[in-house]
């Protein structure tokens, strides 16, 4: 381990580029395409592609011809189109969040130059970059907050002079209790400040 590694610690915050977000964006996109295709077929009055999977299809003749049913546009086709449009817009929004990596960034603790830097990406605009920097002398403690129940949360806070607290863990980035305790104790030892739990 080099001297710079001993004096500088950087923790990467993943943000929206998590595997689960990729998965849900793809699933919602494919589902919305199915709904839109069904609504479009019902609007044109052509047999929809779902009728091939209908186990209760009637046989028209001895030649085993399948009867393909058309879905009436009002109200079923219209409703399918509405749900498909909502799903499509949601998948686009989710894809943009992944592309922009909203919430992603890092926490850097630099003993060499005597500062802590907290960087996050936000939504596009003037305040896209959230870049906070504080002196290490202003840090009073590292605090762990554990909330149990349905909305359980595990968060590490950096407490500064004047009772100001800054969360260090990413939103939607669940860490186990062991990981939270390990990271918080490492930080408290590195910064030589007290570790508090709530």
From 104, 107, 111, 108, select the one nearest 129 (Cα to Cα): 104
CA–CA dist 57, 76 (Å, integer): 19
Phi, psi of 28 (to 5 degrees): -65, -35
81 DSSP 8-state letter? H
Q: How far apart are CA 155 and CA 198, in angstroms?
A: 10
Over 70: is that where the pLDDT of 144 sits?
Answer: yes
Residue 48 has, within 13 A of its CA and on its CB side, a CA count of: 21
**Tell me, what's the pLDDT at 50?**
57
State pLDDT tens for residues 59-99: 444 444 444 567 788 888 899 999 999 999 999 999 999 99
Per-residue CA distances from 56 to 46, 77, 175 (Å): 19, 20, 49
The structure tokens 């049913």 sit at: 69
| Among candidate residues 155, 192, 159, 157, the one with its CA nearest the CA of residue 174 | 155
Q: What is the pLDDT of residues 10-35, one digit of tens each?
A: 999 989 999 999 999 999 999 999 99
The domain spans of the chain are 21-100, 104-197
Domain 104-197 fold: PH-domain like (2.30.29)
Q: pLDDT over 90 for what percent of the chain?
A: 56
pTM equals 0.77
pLDDT at 52 over 60: no
Burial class (CB within 10 angstroms; exposed 0-12, middle 13-18, buried 19+) of 139:
buried
């Amino acid at each position: 381990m080099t001297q710079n590694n001993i004096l500088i610690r950087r923790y990467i915050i993943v943000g929206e580029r998590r595997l689960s977000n990729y998965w849900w964006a793809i699933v919602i996109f494919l589902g919305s395409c199915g709904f839109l295709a069904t609504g479009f077929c019902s609007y044109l009055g052509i047999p929809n592609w779902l009728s091939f999977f209908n186990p209760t299809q009637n046989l028209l003749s001895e030649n085993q011809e399948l009867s393909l049913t058309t879905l009436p546009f009002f109200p079923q086709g219209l409703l399918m189109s509405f749900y498909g449009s909502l799903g499509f817009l949601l998948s686009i929004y989710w894809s943009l969040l992944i592309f922009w990596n909203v919430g992603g960034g890092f926490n850097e603790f630099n003993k060499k130059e005597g500062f802590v830097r907290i960087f996050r990406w936000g939504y596009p605009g003037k305040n896209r970059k959230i870049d906070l920097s504080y002196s290490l002398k202003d840090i009073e403690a590292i605090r762990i907050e554990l909330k149990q129940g349905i909305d359980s949360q595990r968060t590490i806070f950096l407490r500064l002079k004047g009772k100001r607290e800054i969360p260090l863990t990413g939103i939607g980035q669940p860490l186990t209790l062991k990981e939270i305790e390990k990271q918080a104790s490492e930080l408290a030892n590195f910064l030589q400040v007290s570790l508090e739990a709530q």
